[in-house]
Structure 1
């Protein structure tokens, strides 16, 4: 996976960035330069995890090295970490034994260089109710191992049930002009009611909304997007209609297509009845990070209405996975 960084400023005052990192794609010195630029521009809520890499080398190892080199930045960063999967697999294991193993392993890798401010299980294990998951993590909070609890890829009912057990610091779900599900399935509504920020991953439609992907041939061999429904030829021909509308709107606003996608999400946060929505766009270089963090303009009511019309007239074809 590539190294990702993104930012939005919500009522907590924190900018946000996500780290899914591969040293073969992004060398450490480039990653550190990107991290420093993100922090300089206000992105001080960082999201990483055990799953971003291998058990022996993942984003937590990068964070250890970064905070070893820049210890003065540790207190400037609010760190959210995903775990709770079986070791070396993308399969959830919600047993108390494994959740505790995951928390302890993350702390071991960080080696005291940075505390875990929020911990979330990357996926909810269907073999265990969310109440069990949150109760285990609440014990870890009480023991001082983690600062708070997040949720990832859960539905509205699960969010409400979890919040009855312990305060939920954030809910991470996919959201973009390419994936507006949370506006229709009560996730946004539940988070607004409970005052829980939404962390919107893939806010650029896995790169589609940047306008740089024009066909399947533009996606490198081995990239998982080659196997996802929305990028398959028949679906992508339909989906390019939305992409072209985003590019057209960006041209009229005098910004990059990515800035339109991010500006739309940020503007939704300003609407009554909506939660704070924090997009996490991708960017492997200082230039890309700067584009994602600077110059993202809020939409007027008229522009939001125009986007609503665009979305209705250009439905996305294909499922997310």
Structure 2
């Protein structure tokens, strides 16, 4: 298997419409290409309520994957998540009590058409429940054989250590890319390396910004998640595209695409990293997968890091502290 996964969220929500047949074809092509992991969540398909888009339904993405991997289950690592619930009006609620953990797992197993989940994450920690209780319930699922390994998403260093001390985490999923380096600055990368936890970067292509396909003055449809994000608006968008033009020049000199360089930069980091670029199209899947063959020297990694120094990136990740993937 290649050290790269496939983020499947875009097949169900947040980035415009998606054709079911095309999505299943992309998932099956990913298996052929040796993509190591499919990343989903039970809420994918329901969260478009927050942006006024059509709601495909809670569990939609898991059901899609279950159909695509039928007959080939053992050829792919399936990672899914629980804890985020969303009302029809888009209000978010986090649930992490032990009884819900078990309930959510059973529902995901049914939608995925499998008897086990390879990697089961808590999508976001319920602030009303001690992290030790949530992770302890995940550990029970491992003991029962319903889950092979557990992970968590978007934790601080203190939360990460507490969770790992309760039951060993195999993975931490957080946003990480050339364009978003908070996990370096807050010590999470160092803690993952120390504890032997694989870091799984979501949005490793900066929600397409690092592909070079975002245009100046681009206007995103109201149903597109990016329409709410400060980095994709006004002067921030212009300044971020200035940075991406440097990436485009670098990648052209190497004869590869900007997105492939961005993924190669992640794979060159000094810890176990499995990026999960999201796409619903076979063309981009093949492009992303080929990034595993792009070699970067230590000097090139340093040059790219300096180009996207966090101090040079304008705009916050989200419009407020409550929004998340």
**TM bucket normalised to smaller:** 0.7 to 0.9
> Are residues 168 and 313 of structure 1, via their aligned partners in 2, closer, same or farther at CA, if it must alter by over 3 Å?
closer
With structure 2 as the length reference, what TM-score do the two structures score?
A: 0.86
Conserved? CA contact 1:64–1:109, under 8 Å: yes
CA-CA distance at 1:115 after TM superposition: 2.3
Q: Unpaired runs of 5+ in structure 2?
A: 47-56, 319-325
Alignment of 1:190-205 (within 5 A): 190-205=191-206
CA-CA distance at 1:57 after TM superposition: 4.7
Residue of structure 1 equivalent to 2:275: 279
> Are residues 279 and 67 of structure 1, via their aligned partners in 2, closer, same or farther at CA, if it must alter by over 3 Å?
closer
> Are residues 312 and 75 of structure 1, via their aligned partners in 2, closer, same or farther at CA, if it must alter by over 3 Å?
closer
Superposition CA RMSD, Å: 2.0
Rounded to whole Å, the distance in 2 between the matches of 1:111 and 1:66 is 10
Rounded to whole Å, the distance in 1 between the matches of 2:206 and 2:69 is 31
Residue of structure 1 equivalent to 2:111: 109
Q: Structure 1 residue 309 and structure 2 residue 306: aligned?
A: yes
Alignment of 1:57-68 (within 5 A): 57-68=59-70
Segment of structure 1 superposing worse, 164-173 or 232-241: 232-241
Cα deviation 1:167-210 (Å, max 9, x = unaligned): 11110000111101111111111110111110001011111111
Rounded to whole Å, the distance in 2 between the matches of 1:87 and 1:223 is 17
Q: Structure 1 residue 172 and structure 2 residue 173: aligned?
A: yes
Residue of structure 2 equivalent to 1:76: 75
- Find 1:294's aligned residue among 290, 293, 296: 290
Q: Unpaired runs of 5+ in structure 1?
A: 1-6, 10-14, 269-273
With structure 1 as the length reference, what TM-score do the two structures score?
A: 0.87
Runs of 4+ in 1 over 6 A off after TM superposition: none
Cα deviation 1:47-104 (Å, max 9, x = unaligned): 1111111345511111222233xx1x10111111111223656421112232222112
Rounded to whole Å, the distance in 2 between the matches of 1:179 and 1:34 is 27
Alignment of 1:38-57 (within 5 A): 38-54=30-46, 55-57=57-59
Conserved? CA contact 1:170–1:198, under 8 Å: yes
Cα deviation 1:139-164 (Å, max 9, x = unaligned): 12222222221110111111111111
Rounded to whole Å, the distance in 2 between the matches of 1:104 and 1:208 is 37
Cα deviation 1:295-319 (Å, max 9, x = unaligned): 5412112212211331239711111
> Are residues 282 and 218 of structure 1, via their aligned partners in 2, closer, same or farther at CA, if it must alter by over 3 Å?
farther
Q: Structure 1 residue 17 and structure 2 residue 6: aligned?
A: yes
CA-CA distance at 1:44 after TM superposition: 2.7
Rounded to whole Å, the distance in 1 between the matches of 2:193 and 2:310 is 27
